Amino acid sequence: MLIAIVLILAIAIILVLIIAGIYNGLVGARNQVKNAWAQIDVQLKRRHDLIPNLTETVRGYMQHERGTLEAVTNARTMAIKAADSGVAAQARAEGELSQALGRLFAVAENYPDLKASQNFLALQEELTSTENKISFSRQFYNDSVLQYNNKTQMFPSNIIASMGGFKAGEFFEVTDTVEREAPKVSFS
Amino acid sequence: MWEQIRDNQTRSVILVTALGIMLILVGSFLGQTLLGDWSIGLLLALLIWVVMTLVGYFQGDSILLSLSNARKIGPGDMPRIYNVVEEMKIASGLEKMPDIYIVDDPAMNAFATGRDKSRASLAVTSGLLQKLSRDELQGVVGHEMAHIRNRDVLLMAMCSVLLGTIVIIAWYGSRVLFFGGGTRRSSSGGGSAQIIILLVAIALMIFAPIMAQFIYLAISRKREYLADASSALYTRYPEGLASALEKIAASTEQLKSANNATAPMYILNPFRKSGRVAEDLSSTHPPISERIRILRAMAGNVSLAGYEVAYNQAHKGGGGIIPRSSLVSGDVAAQHDEVSAAVTPAEKERAREASDVLWKMHKYREITCNCGLKFKIPPDFHSNSFTCPRCNTTHSL
């Protein structure tokens, strides 16, 4: 009799420990997703802050490229507006901003004076790096979401996930195709 | 996704234990032959090890950095390297930005140090900054970041302390044994058992350092492959690291401030005959040509699984670099940003950029004259003003 009680107690304790472990794992994964999202946000804000400086610097040199400059300014405004309207909408707006910036830097190649300006070079370095940081934080965010979603869908953690209200995370998808192309590697 | 870190840790614990057993064997046999007591030798060996480990744990990174004459830089000193490190910090998911150091040396190399992820440092030589493009630099920094992320740096430091202890004890032991320890044998009067112990001690003295070296290599080589694989995953562009390795291998400069203990910390073995090309002479690191070949064979799939496949191709099977548990997630496509490649300044400008940072680190003041000439004023310059030799403008300090 006593043995049976001890046995049942032991099994109960082990079960509780396992459930607690799975639950904590889920919370950890969800926090990592949140954290990774905050990282993207920091970099997106940084880009929004840098763009007025860039357009100010470039304006004097590029009299004939009013359209390209306006496209960048407009895309920035749209991206800031989209910040509160969900992951998918924000991803789209930020993707358009990336493209507008890419066009601006491509056009800048035709202006040797601009390319010699220290101010422009420093801004270009900062913006390019911010662009990289955005895509790296997005990369890490998507990895974290994948890891978290796997946990919410796989047995046995899916049972605890559905009881504890853990919803699957949303991926930050890239919309433009250029970024997804594999690089050409030469073996010469 | 990060299971490979844990798996690797178990494997490393086994190897470190093997090194520890080696130390215990050497210590106790030496104690028996020289002092006639197992325990004293064992205790002495352990004491030396504990002291060295404590020093290594608490002061290892600062000792290493000061040994290599590394100087710390801030975000404003050189935005390019700072940004590249921050990019890789984000890609690897590290929480804290590591400190960045520059070593004033024309040789191309880099290393990471620090006892844990929140206290890590990363050092690159000025030669590396001059000669590598942004993509290549990213690959190298990604490799070092992987060492920090996978907790390699502490493990390698602890291993080199163990290895160093074994080598030191065996070295001193053999001197005493061959040139002065002979008298003790007759007094204890043991007979054949005594002779066997003596033979084992001699054998240990000769083979322990070699065996320890092999164990050490087994640990460090695996870690290099794993760091290469992680770097490709972080950057999504294995060609960057591959071409950086190619450039580093082709250079003939030798690092001035490296020694045996610090060698495995670097991205490339700093020891090679000066004037000779690095080729496959390295021992703490896998052959560089092979690392390049594997990275290039990854082509489209830059995940850890892709690296494993490429590794198996290069080795005709074998494998086991990446633990199976982390191979499950699917293919990861390579991506490369053309703008990023375009933003790298030409090599001449990079050289100037790097030397400017070095001047600044040595507390030289920079003054630009209206005519475009740049002056670097040494810190011990006493006069209050100087005249520009081109346009005769007088600058006051």
Q: How far from B44 is each of A86, B26, B127, B205, CA to CA, in Å?
A: 65, 11, 43, 16
The pLDDT of residue B338 is 52
Classify residue A44: in a domain, yes or no.
no
Check CB contact of A155 with chain B, cutoff 8 Å.
no
Known catalytic residue: B144? yes
Section B346-371 average pLDDT = 76
pLDDT digits (tens, 9 = 90+) for B372-392: 777 888 888 877 888 888 888
Give the range among A41-45, B26-30, B126-130 with minimum mean pLDDT. B26-30
pLDDT digits (tens, 9 = 90+) for B230-257: 888 888 888 889 999 988 888 766 666 5
pLDDT digits (tens, 9 = 90+) for A134-170: 888 888 888 888 888 888 888 888 888 888 788 887 7
Classify residue A125: in a domain, yes or no.
yes
Q: How far from A173 is each of A87, A129, A143, A183, B91, CA to CA, in Å?
A: 9, 20, 12, 20, 16
The pLDDT of residue A182 is 40
Using the predicted structure, report yes or no on whether residue A40 has a pLDDT greater than 90.
no
Q: Which domain holds residue A118?
A: 51-144
Banded pLDDT at B275 (limits 50, 70, 90): very low
User: How much of chain B exceeds pLDDT 70, in percent?
Assistant: 76
pLDDT digits (tens, 9 = 90+) for A92-129: 888 888 888 888 888 888 888 887 787 888 888 888 88
Q: Is the four-CA dihedral B51, B55, B58, B61 of positive or negative sign?
A: negative
Banded pLDDT at B180 (limits 50, 70, 90): low
The verdict on a CB contact (< 8 Å) between B343 and A185 is no
Which residues have a Cβ under 8 Å from the Cβ of B140 and sit 6 or more positions away? B110, B124, B128, B132, B231, B241, B244, B267
**B70-73 and B99-103: which strand pairing?**
antiparallel
pLDDT digits (tens, 9 = 90+) for B215-231: 777 777 778 888 888 88
Where b means 16+ CB within 10 Å and e means fewer, B348-369 reads eebbebbebbbebbeeeeeeee
Which residues have a Cβ under 8 Å from the Cβ of B45 and sit 6 or more positions away? B23, B24, B26, B27, B28, B30, B31, B165, B169
The verdict on a CB contact (< 8 Å) between A136 and B87 is yes
Using the predicted structure, report yes or no on whether residue B1 has a pLDDT greater than 70.
no
* Partner residue opposite B343 with nearest CB, options A125, A181, A185: A125
The pLDDT of residue B5 is 54
Banded pLDDT at B158 (limits 50, 70, 90): confident
Nearest CA in chain A to B298: A185
Classify residue A3: in a domain, yes or no.
no
Alpha carbon of residue B66 to chain centroid: 15
The pLDDT of residue B316 is 60
Banded pLDDT at B266 (limits 50, 70, 90): low
The verdict on a CB contact (< 8 Å) between A136 and B88 is yes
Collect all residues of chain B within an 8 Å Cβ-Cβ radius of residue A143.
1, 93
Q: Is the four-CA dihedral A34, A35, A37, A42 of positive or negative sign?
A: positive
**Domains held by chain A: number:** 1
Classify residue A18: in a domain, yes or no.
no
Average pLDDT of the residues of chain B: 75
The pLDDT of residue B79 is 85
The ipTM, to two decimals, is 0.75
The pLDDT of residue A174 is 59
The verdict on a CB contact (< 8 Å) between A185 and B299 is yes
Collect all residues of chain B within an 8 Å Cβ-Cβ radius of residue A95.
none
The pLDDT of residue A188 is 42
What residue segments make up the domains of chain B, in order of their start? Answer: 3-339, 363-396
Collect all residues of chain A within an 8 Å Cβ-Cβ radius of residue B6.
none
Please state the pTM of the whole predicted model.
0.76
The pLDDT of residue B98 is 92
